[in-house]
Structure 1
Amino acid sequence: MLEEKVETTGYVPQYFLSLPRKIKKLLLYRFLFATLLCSWLDYQMLAIFLCINLFEVRRPLVSLNEIMGWTLFSVYTSIIMLFIRLSMVGYGLILCHVHYASPRWYKYKLLKIVNEFPIRICLFSWILSTTVVSSWLYASFVDLVDENYSLGGSWYYLMTFGCFCGTSYFHKHHGRCLKRFPLPIVHIDMKESLLQIWCNHLKCSGKEAFAPTLLYALIYWPYMGYLETTEFGGVITGFTVIITQPTRLFQGWLLYTFILAKLSIVREVYGLIMQRQLSLINDSRRLHEYLDINLFNMIVERFQYFICMMQMKPMPLDVQRYNLSLPIAMALDSAEIYGFQLLASRDFYAAMSGNLCSELFKQQCFKRNQNWNELCDVILEMADDFIARMESCLETAPRIKVCNLLKKQVPKKSQLRSLVKPTPALRRLSSICRGPPQCRTPEQIWCACNLRKYLHDRILGHWNRLWLRLPAIPRYYNFFYDIDPLAKLNHELRCGEPLVWALQGLVCICVRSLKEDIFGYIQGDLCRILTCLLKVEEKLITAEEMQVRERGKLCSSHDLLMLAINRCLYKMLFTFGPHLDYIVDNMQLVEKFKRRMEMIP
């Protein structure tokens, strides 16, 4: 079956268009589900904010009825919530793009800042729009009750404070570097995870909001008092507002807490849902590569399942159930979308340590061999690509071009030495300046050319002295323009980080095949796997030598890869060491492996 020609658009990234359809639908479904959870979060926070500010103890039922009406059954709230959701969707899209996009490398810092500037601007715009619209919604309800409009009232204070909150959040969490979603160490139940995220971030945001709220109030209210009266007495009025009206300070603290908690929880929720454990199966990728699933029907089916679960009834038999399980080879062969490949390799290693490996050996002969060949080829191709990219980075000297080997034909000089010393040609000095190209006046004679040269030398000398006396300027210049000799090497190490889990999962299959592979089919590929592991280890050791030579610093991916390779080689040699003569045909490789076995404690 021929592949369809994919047309790119200006709104969808290229890496998403090149994915198989099933992976596309899986990512879209997870993104929509995370967006739905974040929408419920807005209503929850608005209800808490209104209960704290508008609840009256004397008439509790009437207050709750008004709060429910303003929260769920208000046209104004629904319209504002629509804008908040749009901003949140944009924020989530940028977060997912940062997570799934492949790593890029830059020679120096300034080039990285320039290339990441559009993404940072989009991220800051969506964060700021979310905080502005949320502040508008909260401030409008506060303005209904607060009838004190001195120094601009509470509405303008909460609006500006919301903008300050969004700016400070962006500077703290996204200002230095763009971070991906962290890999889950342990997969916990989703309900428990959501409750834990909600409680932890709300508590931490409340503690973190004290200092910014007090600092902003000490700046805002005296400044507004000075603007209103244009006298120094207005500053005292501003401080009086802070002391005599603590309600405004409390409202600002509450607004900062909710906005900070919302932005943090949204990022955690998207990371939790997009990084959920994949459902991997032992099946051929050809059967699932062009399988298309209707996303709307799948959402309807999940909604019916939710209703039946709430009613404690079984699902009807006539309802079609959609399965988003992915073949292992398809999930791992997704180098275009880096974040997904990292998650797939992590889940592959966890699955091969469990029951999925036993299911592979229990399959029928033809199906098992086909699935194993696809899986082994995908992982070894990943390793071969990584080795090839590392070789291009670890070249000690550039290749000699053919054109440099061709010497120019220069006429040979006479071998006879003259008996008379040749006299140099007399240089005729003229006192007349004939312009920069033909000026030959001596330096003692003042002319326009000599004056220009003299001024240039003097200015350059003073500038060099000034440059050395200002240590901050060279420091910033070096920070932005210093070329990192290990930048490309670190980039390739980051791109090869999925091998940390993929190779360990492959080794788990090989180790368990000694007892569970009855027909010994996997043993034919053990030599390839051992050779590949040895090559990867050699490249990583060479990278360490280059680090010492260049006096640079390798990224953390090198340590992870080195640790994973050591584990893989230890397991393979410990398991198959006594049988190396039957597995490996090359005697030189056998000697290498035996020397490597001597290093095992």
Structure 2
Amino acid sequence: MNSNLVRQRFTYKDLLLRKLSYAVVSSIFSQLVILSFYVFLTNIDVFHPLKWIFSSLGMLTSFSTLLFLIPFLTIIFGQSLICAKDYVIKSSYCSTRFQKFIATFSIHNLILSLLHITVGAALTWLFLSVPGGKYRSLIEDCNEKVYCLNEGAFFLVLSGFWTGFYFFVKIYIAEKNLSFPVIHQRKFLQLKSHLINLIKDSIIQSFWPSLYFVILYYIQGKSLTESFRAIFGLLEFEQKPSVFIYIDLWFFSALYYFNMNLMRFYFNLFLTEPVQFPLVRNQNENLTLQESITNYDWPIVQNLACLDLHLLAQWSNLRRQVFFTLSNPGGHPHNWNSLVENTLRLIKEYTDLLNKTIDVPEKKINTPIVQAPLIQSPDRFRNLRNMALYDQDYNFIEVSKPPLAKFSFSATVITKISEKFTNILEFVKLILGIKFLFGELPQANVRKCLANGHLIIWASQGIADIVSASLTEDKFGVVQKDLPAIITSLVSLKQSLEKLNKVPALTRKMVGYDDFNYQMKGAVTAAVKRSLFNICRTFEAYMQDIPLSKDIAQYLQVHIICKA
């Protein structure tokens, strides 16, 4: 498995640029392959195979084809570069609907939307023009000096604009996450295993935008056609498009979806490819595994570092030995100290974010304490009745009551006015939509935590596997000194994850089994529990010697079945 990993000796930007360049080049090359396959398929001639092959090759290598290909591939190249930013740059967190609205209509998304729309029309125009046919051009010669509009070609090119817009709004904005495979295979095997699913999904996904376009064109198509003819001075073409043009519409929509899904697949294929990070810094290397674990500026690098930690902890005995060695001279475990410090920092920050978003502070109810006016007697005669009270004016006792009653009345009135004002303000916010736009979305922070669940899955299992291997491989015992901190951090994280079961939006009754947040919650909880169980099973005979707090030891006994 290690033979499939890629050894990198670059900076973070060099690493990402290499991966992204592979994805962009593969996407452009795939466009050429698809176009070549389409040309060979449309010019098929079984009875004259040589003529079929040479005519197709001549069509692909002609000067007119190059004129069509150059602008199309340029647009694809620009689109790929801009789309790449969404996969490698740290995305901004939107906790309110207003922030989501601003992020949706950002300059970056506006440029991407224009590129998607342009690619949709350019793709249809390219595949109509290169092989030829009755829809090869928007304009047809009616007479010597008069030109007509080919309504069928206009219909299909216009559908390309709509398909690009629909894909961007419906799919691209909503889905930008990378999916790391459970078992990493060679790239050709991954492409081979996903190709059929990509084709099938593209055909299914393109059905609805095709249907919507037919409905929209039926409502506004005539006015659009007349306006286009009036602008360019064209006449109506006598030959009307046949019913089979709807099949062509669905085909080109599916072709666009397939190209876009294939481009996203390439990004996922190359960016999620495992990387072996250096474990020791030297002059030629500016990135190490230990520092990359907490690299929040480049999330994809952080994911790859945690994945590398998980893989080396399981499969690489030689790389594990680096953490068990001491520096020479000095005899200090710098490699291990750096790893455990950054890993525990990642786990602690994740735990703190969970606690901050899940725990709701209880409202303290302040009950007013009414103290009656008491006249104390001297301590010497505490049990005797003070007869001197009857010798004084009786109004002395009554005079002390009005200020208290007045104070209590004023406080009550102020409290009621404050509550009334708060209710009116909340009502105004509700009416004007202020709370709807600027109020924090429910469980938004929890979803943000679960989106980064892969980091905790790999980091917790990786550090636990290294700790378990240290019992037989760590000759100097550099790991054992950090066992209490590691176990305590994992237990704290496990306790915070258990609170997610109380979140209504993450219960099985509210969501389905295929919900991403529900699945990630179960995966992270299972990974942390497995990590604790792995450590407890390995050090079961020595758990009494590990200085753990009473609460941690009791938790391990009850929940992990560990004799701590």
One-letter code aligned to 1:351: L
> Does the 8 A contact of 1:383 with 1:499 survive in 2?
yes
Q: CA separation in 2, counterparts of 1:78 and 1:546? A: 58
Name whichever of 109-118 and 373-382 sits farther off.
Answer: 109-118
- Give 1:136's aligned residue: 125
Of 155, 167, 190, the match for 2:153? 155
Give CA-to-partner distance per residue, 1:19-66, whole Å, 9 cap, x none: x95221111011111111111111112112222334556765445334
Matched, 1:566 2:529: yes
> Does the 8 A contact of 2:23 with 2:270 survive in 1?
yes
Q: CA separation in 2, counterparts of 1:60 and 1:110? A: 61
Are residues 533 and 169 of structure 1, via their aligned partners in 2, closer, same or farther at CA, if it must alter by over 3 Å? same
One-letter code aligned to 2:333: N
- Give 1:523's aligned residue: 480
Matched, 1:32 2:21: yes
Q: CA separation in 2, counterparts of 1:48 and 1:345? A: 41
Q: CA separation in 2, counterparts of 1:221 and 1:587? A: 74
Matched, 1:378 2:342: yes
Of 109, 112, 117, the match for 2:97? 109
Of 257, 271, 275, the match for 2:272? 275
> Does the 8 A contact of 1:35 with 1:89 survive in 2?
yes
SS in 2 for 1:366: coil
The aligned runs of 1:368-517 (5 Å cut-off) are 369-393=333-357, 396-397=360-361, 417=399, 483-495=440-452, 497-517=454-474
Are residues 366 and 144 of structure 1, via their aligned partners in 2, closer, same or farther at CA, if it must alter by over 3 Å? same
Q: CA separation in 2, counterparts of 1:598 and 1:541? A: 17
> Does the 8 A contact of 1:221 with 1:239 survive in 2?
no
Q: CA separation in 1, counterparts of 2:238 and 2:397? A: 97
Q: CA separation in 1, counterparts of 2:241 and 2:211? A: 9
- Give 2:409's aligned residue: none
Q: CA separation in 1, counterparts of 2:29 and 2:199? A: 15
Could you tell me the TM-score, scaled by structure 2's length? 0.70
- Give 1:407's aligned residue: none
Q: CA separation in 2, counterparts of 1:286 and 1:357? A: 18
Of 548, 557, 579, the match for 2:542? 579
> Does the 8 A contact of 2:116 with 2:168 survive in 1?
yes
Post-superposition shift, 1:209? 5.1
Post-superposition shift, 1:137? 1.7
- Give 2:314's aligned residue: 353
> Does the 8 A contact of 2:163 with 2:210 survive in 1?
no
> Does the 8 A contact of 1:53 with 1:142 survive in 2?
yes
How many percent identity over aligned positions?
A: 18
Are residues 351 and 555 of structure 1, via their aligned partners in 2, closer, same or farther at CA, if it must alter by over 3 Å? same
Q: CA separation in 1, counterparts of 2:506 and 2:398? A: 49
Q: CA separation in 1, counterparts of 2:71 and 2:305? A: 34
One-letter code aligned to 2:22: F
> Does the 8 A contact of 1:218 with 1:239 survive in 2?
no
Post-superposition shift, 1:504? 0.8
Post-superposition shift, 1:499? 1.7
> Does the 8 A contact of 1:533 with 1:569 survive in 2?
yes
> Does the 8 A contact of 1:103 with 1:494 survive in 2?
no
Q: CA separation in 1, counterparts of 2:44 and 2:217? A: 28
Post-superposition shift, 1:207? 5.7
Post-superposition shift, 1:506? 0.3
Of 479, 493, 497, the match for 1:536? 493
Give CA-to-partner distance per residue, 1:520-552, whole Å, 9 cap, x none: 221111111112112222333455557699999
- Give 1:169's aligned residue: 167
> Does the 8 A contact of 1:98 with 1:179 survive in 2?
yes
The unaligned stretches of length 5 or more in structure 2 are 1-8, 141-147, 228-235, 365-395, 403-423
Q: CA separation in 2, counterparts of 1:393 and 1:209? A: 39
Post-superposition shift, 1:485? 4.6
Are residues 331 and 79 of structure 1, via their aligned partners in 2, closer, same or farther at CA, if it must alter by over 3 Å? farther
Q: CA separation in 2, counterparts of 1:256 and 1:491? A: 33
Q: CA separation in 2, counterparts of 1:371 and 1:190? A: 33
> Does the 8 A contact of 1:580 with 1:590 survive in 2?
no
One-letter code aligned to 1:163: F
> Does the 8 A contact of 1:348 with 1:505 survive in 2?
yes
Are residues 146 and 63 of structure 1, via their aligned partners in 2, closer, same or farther at CA, if it must alter by over 3 Å? farther
> Does the 8 A contact of 1:99 with 1:180 survive in 2?
yes
Q: CA separation in 2, counterparts of 1:547 and 1:257? A: 38
Give CA-to-partner distance per residue, 1:454-504, whole Å, 9 cap, x none: xxxxxx9xxx9xx9xxxxx99x99875664353334434545651221011
> Does the 8 A contact of 1:500 with 1:561 survive in 2?
yes
Q: CA separation in 1, counterparts of 2:45 and 2:506? A: 72
Q: CA separation in 2, counterparts of 1:558 and 1:385? A: 17
Q: CA separation in 2, counterparts of 1:546 and 1:229? A: 56
Give CA-to-partner distance per residue, 1:390-441, whole Å, 9 cap, x none: 45445644999xxxxxxxxxxxxx9984999xxxxxxxxxxxxxxxxxxxxx
Could you tell me the TM-score, scaled by structure 1's length? 0.66
SS in 2 for 1:70: helix
SS in 1 for 2:333: helix
Post-superposition shift, 1:265? 0.8
> Does the 8 A contact of 1:109 with 1:479 survive in 2?
yes
Q: CA separation in 2, counterparts of 1:225 and 1:394? A: 56
One-letter code aligned to 1:50: V
- Give 1:87's aligned residue: 75
- Give 2:303's aligned residue: 342
One-letter code aligned to 2:261: S
The aligned runs of 1:117-128 (5 Å cut-off) are 117-118=105-106, 119-128=108-117
- Give 1:259's aligned residue: 256
Are residues 152 and 366 of structure 1, via their aligned partners in 2, closer, same or farther at CA, if it must alter by over 3 Å? same
Are residues 357 and 490 of structure 1, via their aligned partners in 2, closer, same or farther at CA, if it must alter by over 3 Å? farther
Q: CA separation in 2, counterparts of 1:222 and 1:588? A: 70
> Does the 8 A contact of 2:28 with 2:77 survive in 1?
no
SS in 1 for 2:539: helix
Are residues 157 and 218 of structure 1, via their aligned partners in 2, closer, same or farther at CA, if it must alter by over 3 Å? same
- Give 2:371's aligned residue: none
Are residues 251 and 588 of structure 1, via their aligned partners in 2, closer, same or farther at CA, if it must alter by over 3 Å? closer
- Give 2:41's aligned residue: 52
Post-superposition shift, 1:271? 1.1
Q: CA separation in 2, counterparts of 1:272 and 1:191? A: 10
One-letter code aligned to 2:34: M
Q: CA separation in 2, counterparts of 1:548 and 1:157? A: 44
One-letter code aligned to 1:569: L
- Give 2:368's aligned residue: none
SS in 2 for 1:285: coil
Post-superposition shift, 1:262? 0.8
Give CA-to-partner distance per residue, 1:535-581, whole Å, 9 cap, x none: 22233345555769999999444433322221122222222233123
SS in 1 for 2:11: helix
The aligned runs of 1:54-73 (5 Å cut-off) are 54-55=43-44, 60-73=49-62
> Does the 8 A contact of 2:121 with 2:159 survive in 1?
no
SS in 1 for 2:178: coil
Post-superposition shift, 1:169? 2.3
The aligned runs of 1:209-228 (5 Å cut-off) are 216=213, 220=217
One-letter code aligned to 2:280: S
Q: CA separation in 2, counterparts of 1:215 and 1:50? A: 29
- Give 1:97's aligned residue: 85
Are residues 134 and 579 of structure 1, via their aligned partners in 2, closer, same or farther at CA, if it must alter by over 3 Å? same
> Does the 8 A contact of 1:142 with 1:155 survive in 2?
no
